[in-house]
Structure 1
């Protein structure tokens, strides 16, 4: 039955017997009847309410503490529920996906209103997920409060699904979980010594696999330190200029515009027509006031036209021939232009340091004239930065364009130590891409044979966790799935604003998956 914006469905239970909610014994002795109002999924964007007549039965088991119990309709009702079982499941799934505020906005649009607190309570009411024991386990930390509180996420690398969330990142907590869940054969982790120790304590027989991305990141940091040590050699040496720079004279470099009147254009044509008309009327003896009225001009305009012998006098600019604040500094501008400095902003700052009191727009206009007369076909190339050279060394050579490859070649030619570093980096990249972890010892020996302090520091770090590094460079496992879930957790935290408590976050991560 439809009642305005509400659809009411009236029904009653017809089963002869019902099972006790405590002991499970079925009974046919009816104690009483009452009506339950259950919200259900909307129909035609109108709310649906089911008015269900149910019965209370007497429990026939003498030892049962439950004297009477209410019957439940399978698939429709549940104990103490004010909505249908189907709608309850829908709201739980929406809450897991969208949490409070976003979920409340969506269910309101679906004509099934529920507050954000109700949705969060639905998540917390869900049963605790039972962690399973994976064969290949990924371990990583994530921030509950960045810089202060950290927790641990455990992921099944083979299925790429989260297994459990631990409230902290302590060695004892992770080791205790591993002890309680025997069967882990491989542990994928970053270079953290805490997780390494927890794995040795909780799963002593498991193989530790250091993540390749973190290994390469550590190598890139070592390369960057090496480039910083030789950053003075990154600049390209300037060509010998002892003979001085030939500076063209002012007239040749930027000739001034001649003080001549305009010969064409709408303004010049109009001025010439008005000048001829005014002087024609003056020759007829007509006064300036009458001329202004006839031509639709102001008296001052007519007076100016009448006082000019020719129209050319009116077409020469007011500022033609006048001096500029930039004039004393033009020789310096010409010198810097010939040296290759063509950026107006930089030239303006240099002039200001030399006492120039004018504006930047004047310098820009003059530089524009210089650029039109004497364009620079080959502007000076920017010197590579430390980050540029680090990126070129650690990047695949096929991904460098011709200019980058040329600049890298020039830098390595000026610095033999960086050349050796680049060779070792390429060898390590081939070793990692081809999964040749068994050759890592030979690579380490070659690095130690050269005087490369930054790579020696990287090699010493590998030695602290050598077995895991060798496994990481040999086995196909990695922590990529763990990093993906780490990013997902960050998204869930932002979605729930300040209400992402650990218990709520844990259920959203594990049950939504």
Structure 2
């Protein structure tokens, strides 16, 4: 029995069954006396006894409750302020605790892993029931792991409330573990933490100037390493801002024919209802008014942040409107794949032959395996009729009243074009290559696309050319930097100037293996923990869970 029901410092006298199929262990504390907690004088004079009933770990799927007979002793020291005191099973129970230390540790582990609400639901069938509030108290009282000295750190920000409150996370890149979580991302907070934890030699970070200043103040001898993914992100954002301003000019360029034409598919949506068309026109009018207001204030010299607050527009929208030479129209959305696509070539041939009977066309492709309804064929044919339908609700005059083929080829949005510019040439499809060839007909666009591709190649290859010696490993980056600063495109020149200001960290990124990828992964785990707690995740509790989670 002692082996099966081991109670440190206590002896089990008998095992009984209580209510609700729980197991009750009746026992007593071993020993003949105890020491007074005030004066530390031993005593064996028993004054009385009482029973403590704490919960313990379950056994064979049954909840376990202890009935411990605890004795009170008289203190024989006349100078002691205490007359009596109770013996304490320190290894088994804490003072005034309603659960054993091992049960509290098990419940705390479940709470740290799953959260309070989910943990309480999980512990009930495991015969260790408790409330979510109790789990939160156990997590808060759990001792944090002792900090160990870190040589290589990764630092990044995370959102407690996106757009409003941000914190910082510090990750030991050598042991793959979160070192600490800070309540904000300001320079004083981060630099103070670095001064309290000396010995850091390498710090990987994003392109934030706030973190750069914090590292320079808190750990001036540490080597700063810019994250390569953020370098590619900044390059894509730069070309996207330039494309936003030049998009109206590029949209007027003629399309370039593709050698390998993709399978036939719809390139335009079906006609919308009149109410949807009217709502879209009203929305466009509001955007034009906002664009004109932003441009007027920007050309007058007003800062972008003040424009954003005055007009109640997002900072990204204000920045996009300020950089655009003319109103940036929304790019036409290309419909996704449809079950009608495999039959478009046949439908087009029949339409050219003069067939404009939608039901007849539907019956023909239905015999070929089309499983859709005739409504889809009606909507496809509606935009291609040369004469109005005899049974349609409206009669249009003769001639092609609307044809998607009469529109000029739509150009991808600036964001989509920016993604194409950052992709490797070998990874482009024929359609994507033709899109880039179309915008490269513009001389300035050709320079920007070429510089963007070279920059991405330098970052992906870490600036090391084949056959280069270690002392010349940054030559490709230096050559690109000099060319970008003299390219004549203001957006690229500004980007190159920013890279030069952060040159030491960027050169370290191209020559060292460290990056901020681990910090991004830990932030993903942090977001999961935050969302598990259903709004109870204030900073103190969230920090405990992050540091206690292995």
Q: What TM-score, normalized by structure 2, do the two folds share?
A: 0.65
Q: Deviations for 1:288-340, whole angstroms, at most 9, x for unmatched residues?
A: xxxxxxxxxxxxxxxxxxxxxxxxxxxxxxxxxxxxxxxxxxxxxxxxxxxxx
- Residue 474 of structure 1 pairs with residue 511 of structure 2: yes
Q: Cα distance, 1:113 vs. partner?
A: 1.6
Q: Cα distance, 1:238 vs. partner?
A: 6.5
The answer to whether the 8 A contact 2:486-2:493 is kept is no
Q: Cα distance, 1:109 vs. partner?
A: 2.0
Q: 1:227 — aligned with what?
A: 243
Aligned ranges 1:197-216 → 2 under 5 Å = 197-216=213-232
Match of 1:419 among 419, 422, 446: 446
Q: Cα distance, 1:111 vs. partner?
A: 2.3
Residues 58, 455 of structure 1: alpha-carbon distance in 2 compared, 3 angstrom cutoff: farther
The answer to whether the 8 A contact 1:235-1:384 is kept is no
Match of 2:425 among 372, 394, 397: 397
Q: Cα distance, 1:209 vs. partner?
A: 1.2
SS in 2 for 1:473: helix
- Residue 505 of structure 1 pairs with residue 520 of structure 2: no
Q: Deviations for 1:344-384, whole angstroms, at most 9, x for unmatched residues?
A: 64874799xx9999459x99xxx9xxxxxxxx9xxx98644
The answer to whether the 8 A contact 1:236-1:383 is kept is no
- Residue 484 of structure 1 pairs with residue 512 of structure 2: no
Residues 350, 155 of structure 1: alpha-carbon distance in 2 compared, 3 angstrom cutoff: same
Match of 1:147 among 159, 163, 171: 163
SS in 1 for 2:92: coil
Q: Cα distance, 1:411 vs. partner?
A: 2.2
Q: Cα distance, 1:104 vs. partner?
A: 0.9
Counterpart Cα distance in 1 of 2:177 and 2:352: 76
SS in 2 for 1:421: helix
Counterpart Cα distance in 2 of 1:459 and 1:483: 26
Q: Cα distance, 1:58 vs. partner?
A: 5.0
- Residue 253 of structure 1 pairs with residue 253 of structure 2: no
Aligned ranges 1:13-162 → 2 under 5 Å = 13-18=29-34, 21=37, 28-57=44-73, 68-73=84-89, 75-162=91-178
Q: How many corresponding residue pairs? A: 406
Residues 230, 82 of structure 1: alpha-carbon distance in 2 compared, 3 angstrom cutoff: same
Q: Cα distance, 1:191 vs. partner?
A: 1.3
Q: 1:263 — aligned with what?
A: none
Q: 1:3 — aligned with what?
A: 18
The answer to whether the 8 A contact 1:234-1:385 is kept is no
- Residue 443 of structure 1 pairs with residue 480 of structure 2: yes
Q: 2:459 — aligned with what?
A: 432
The answer to whether the 8 A contact 2:156-2:168 is kept is yes
Counterpart Cα distance in 2 of 1:411 and 1:137: 45
SS in 1 for 2:127: coil
Counterpart Cα distance in 2 of 1:387 and 1:344: 34
Segments of 5+ residues of structure 1 without an aligned counterpart are 240-246, 258-341, 368-375
Residues 154, 357 of structure 1: alpha-carbon distance in 2 compared, 3 angstrom cutoff: farther
Residues 397, 121 of structure 1: alpha-carbon distance in 2 compared, 3 angstrom cutoff: same
The answer to whether the 8 A contact 1:151-1:165 is kept is yes
Residues 145, 25 of structure 1: alpha-carbon distance in 2 compared, 3 angstrom cutoff: farther
Match of 1:194 among 180, 192, 210: 210
The structure with the largest alpha-carbon Rg is: 1
Q: Cα distance, 1:504 vs. partner?
A: 0.8
Q: Cα distance, 1:206 vs. partner?
A: 1.0
Residues 504, 255 of structure 1: alpha-carbon distance in 2 compared, 3 angstrom cutoff: closer
Q: Deviations for 1:481-508, whole angstroms, at most 9, x for unmatched residues?
A: 1122222222222211221111111111
Q: 55-64 or 68-77: which moved more? A: 55-64
Q: 2:300 — aligned with what?
A: none
Residues 404, 132 of structure 1: alpha-carbon distance in 2 compared, 3 angstrom cutoff: same
The answer to whether the 8 A contact 2:254-2:438 is kept is no
SS in 2 for 1:490: helix
Q: What TM-score, normalized by structure 1, do the two folds share?
A: 0.69
Residues 19, 384 of structure 1: alpha-carbon distance in 2 compared, 3 angstrom cutoff: same
The answer to whether the 8 A contact 2:232-2:459 is kept is no
Residues 138, 29 of structure 1: alpha-carbon distance in 2 compared, 3 angstrom cutoff: farther
Q: Cα distance, 1:343 vs. partner?
A: 8.7
Counterpart Cα distance in 1 of 2:94 and 2:351: 95
Q: Deviations for 1:265-295, whole angstroms, at most 9, x for unmatched residues?
A: xxxxxxxxxxxxxxxxxxxxxxxxxxxxxxx
SS in 2 for 1:109: coil
Aligned ranges 1:365-384 → 2 under 5 Å = 383-384=411-412
The answer to whether the 8 A contact 1:137-1:188 is kept is yes
Q: RMSD of the TM alignment (CA)?
A: 3.8
Q: Cα distance, 1:509 vs. partner?
A: 0.8
